[in-house]
Chain A
Amino acid sequence: MAAKPIASPIPVALYPTLSVFTLTIGLVITAIFFIYETTSSRKNRSLGKELATSAVASVFLGFGSLFLLLASGVYV
């Protein structure tokens, strides 16, 4: 009756690398979002495009900050 050990779904050694990559991608998409906001005029702004970009950016930023917390030792 060998008990099955439970480990983290993502290998712990990958946390720092993952946090750097997801945060970079998240910040790039945030930049795209804000560039879109400032360069488009009120008439030809598309709400769908804005919401889609912000959703993708927030997902990447959210996971990036989670991996950053885990990599720095705050195991939430």
Chain B
Amino acid sequence: MAARIGIFAVVVAVFLSIPAFSSAQDLQIVNAERRIDLSSHIVKAFLTLKVENIGKSAAAEMLLAFSPTQIKNLAMVQALAITGKKKKKTYLPLDVKPTEQPDAPNDTGYYRVTFVSPLGPGETVSLEVLYILTHSLEPFPVEITQSESQLVYYHDSAVILSPYHVKQQTTFVKTPSTRVESFTSIEPANRAGKEIKYGPYENRASYSYAPVIIHFENNSPFAVVEELVREIEISHWGSLQITENYRLTHGGARHKGVFSRVDYQSKRSVSGASSFNALLAVLPPRVNSVYYRDDIGNISTSHLRTGFRKSELEFEPRYPLFGGWRATFIIGYRVPLEDYLFEASDGRRYLNFTFGCPLVETIVNKLTIKVVLPEGSKDPSAILPFTVNQDLQVKYSYLDIVGRTVVVLQKDNVVPTHNVPFQVYYTFKPIYMLAEPFMLVSAFFFVFVASLAYVHIDLNIARK
């Protein structure tokens, strides 16, 4: 009898100790509208969700689900909460983090979005989610000749994958041109010009998935930087020297057959429709000493336009890039120190610089940023709005004795939306700046002392 009461008490205690937040089934998406932009090789999807809490307890967060292939290619997920109506809408950024759920069906990946304030029972909230996918357009045919246009597959689901019940949803897909070879039709679906509309779909259960394939023409430049190493060297004597090593490829349908320069130059609109030869790099405003070279030497096909808010370097590799072709080059430039190095309130110095790649509309598969701190810097630390791999190295440069500390930040799958400022903090005593001139002074003094010794030493054997 006592044992039974004991067991009952334990069971009640277990039930009471379950957290008072809703589980996945207590939220419901009333309305979802998804707009997928397939104009460039970076796929951008905008999701507008109206989420309602149909449970009995407050919900502090919700989950966004992605299929296993999408999770691998996701470069960035951002969420905003919309408050206010019509003209007075305000957008508040929400915290989004990747998460894992133990009972995920078919290896679904999740991102957890935390609300501004917990959603009470019966309340609704409007969210806008932006997610960016890289390497999601699959070229088909895989190989094309110079005179063909590039056609790609896009795989997705007509029904939004969600752990919650979705009452009403529509998906709009925007293609870059009106040429769409085929698209899977899941009623009601229709195409008008450059837009394909899937929906509206009513009352879909959680985790419902309707795979579709859209086969369309996309001749936008598939510029993929396989590896980019950016080195930012800080010199307290007045400048920041940035050196960028690029390995650029064309990530679209591979080129087969010969390359005819005659066809390429005479029929430019038809020949090499998916190739590209010009690239644009956005550099800081007060930039000087810009150079663009590769292993052979200087590459003169470049134009630099400096401006007040930014500078633009329009450059061309030595040859146009077709599918599967590569180009390796180095871009370097110098910027004044006072634009980027600041003193924090606690006495530490910090570098405020932009992360990411200066090239527009390019994906970087592997990005490494090395911040070379001057000799004598201690306690380096980096603050970034997203996760990167951090490491420390030592580099020996001009007039160095102990070497310079290098903060190495490494990230995969970087898109232009990652071009946000980041900070690297370190402590530095200004007296250490005198170490370099002191080395030069002592070198010259050594020469003088050597000449003095030569003059004073008597090497005569004969006694005077």
Contacts of A74 in B (CB 8 A): 398
* Distance of A61 Cα from B344 Cα, bound (Å): 36
* Distance of A8 Cα from B344 Cα, bound (Å): 17
* Distance of A23 Cα from B279 Cα, bound (Å): 45
State which of B126-134, B232-240, B314-322 sits at the interface with chain A: B232-240
B444 and A76 contact, CB distance less than 8 A: no
B241 and A9 contact, CB distance less than 8 A: no
Q: Which residue of A lies closest to B239 (CB)?
A: A75
A window 22-43: CB within 8 A of B: 33-34, 37
Contacts of A76 in B (CB 8 A): 235, 237, 397-399, 436
Q: Which residue of B lies closest to A5 (CB)?
A: B338
B448 and A54 contact, CB distance less than 8 A: yes
* Distance of A58 Cα from B452 Cα, bound (Å): 13
Q: Write the A44-76 contact mask toward B (1 if CB under 8 angstroms, else 0).
A: 010100110011011101110110011001111
B436 and A6 contact, CB distance less than 8 A: no
* Distance of A7 Cα from B349 Cα, bound (Å): 11
Which of under 10, 10 to 19, 20 to 34, or 35 or more describes the interface residues of A? 20 to 34
B window 228-257: CB within 8 A of A: 233, 235-239, 241
Q: How far is the CB of A44 from chain B (nearest CB, A)?
A: 14
Q: How far is the CB of B346 from chain A (nearest CB, A)?
A: 12
Q: Which residue of A lies closest to B340 (CB)?
A: A5
* Distance of A70 Cα from B235 Cα, bound (Å): 10
Q: Taking A9-B430, A54-B445, A75-B241 as contacts, is the C-beta distance between A63 and B437 under 8 angstroms?
A: yes
A6 and B235 contact, CB distance less than 8 A: no
Sampled A-B contacts (19; CB under 8 Å): A3-B342, A3-B343, A6-B337, A6-B341, A6-B349, A8-B236, A8-B237, A37-B451, A50-B452, A51-B452, A54-B445, A54-B448, A58-B444, A58-B447, A59-B441, A62-B438, A66-B436, A66-B437, A75-B241
The residues of A with any CB-CB pair to B shorter than 8 Å are 1, 3-9, 12, 33-34, 37, 45, 47, 50-51, 54-55, 57-59, 61-63, 65-66, 69-70, 73-76
Q: Could you list 19 further interchain pairs (A-B, Cβ under 8 angstroms) beyond the known A12-B237, A51-B452?
A: A5-B342, A6-B236, A6-B343, A7-B338, A12-B239, A37-B455, A47-B456, A54-B449, A54-B452, A55-B445, A58-B444, A61-B444, A62-B437, A62-B440, A62-B441, A62-B442, A66-B440, A75-B239, A76-B397
